[in-house]
Amino acid sequence: MKRFIVELDGQREEGWFEKIKGTLWVHWRGQTLTWEPKSSERKRSRDSDLHRGEILAPMPGKITKILKQEGESVKSGELVLVMEAMKMEYSLNSHRDGLIKKLKVSVGSQVELHQILVEVGS
């Protein structure tokens, strides 16, 4: 990770950034922001993942908690698992109502960017 410093109204603040597989990840003021070049192909792919109910890894990291198991029901927006990446914790929620059809990771699993972690279905 690379450090940057921003000066706003005389106050210096630091943040961190990293480019991973074409996506720029920025950690600043307790938030993580991403930016990637526009690509209609990537957008179509991500939109179809949401419609299929897949929960994808937003970045490379490690699974630290799993709150739902296969066969359990889940509501849209409900927390399913937690991962750690770049010394930060990320809560991953379901994008739809349904059942956990397939849990593809376990606690301690190392995951890659956009890896399918969970499949949610009807």
pLDDT single digits (tens) 26-83: 888 777 777 776 654 444 444 444 446 899 988 899 999 999 999 999 998 899 999 9
Q: What is the pTM of this model?
A: 0.61
Every domain of the chain and the residues it spans: 1-37, 45-122
CATH ID of 45-122, from 2.40.50.100, 2.60.40.3140, 1.10.10.10, 3.40.630.30: 2.40.50.100
Lowest mean pLDDT among 36-40, 84-88, 108-112: 36-40
Integer Cα distance of 110 and 50 in angstroms: 22
End-to-end distance of the chain based on CA atoms, in angstroms? 40
Integer Cα distance of 59 and 16 in angstroms: 15
Q: Note the pLDDT of residue 38.
A: 65
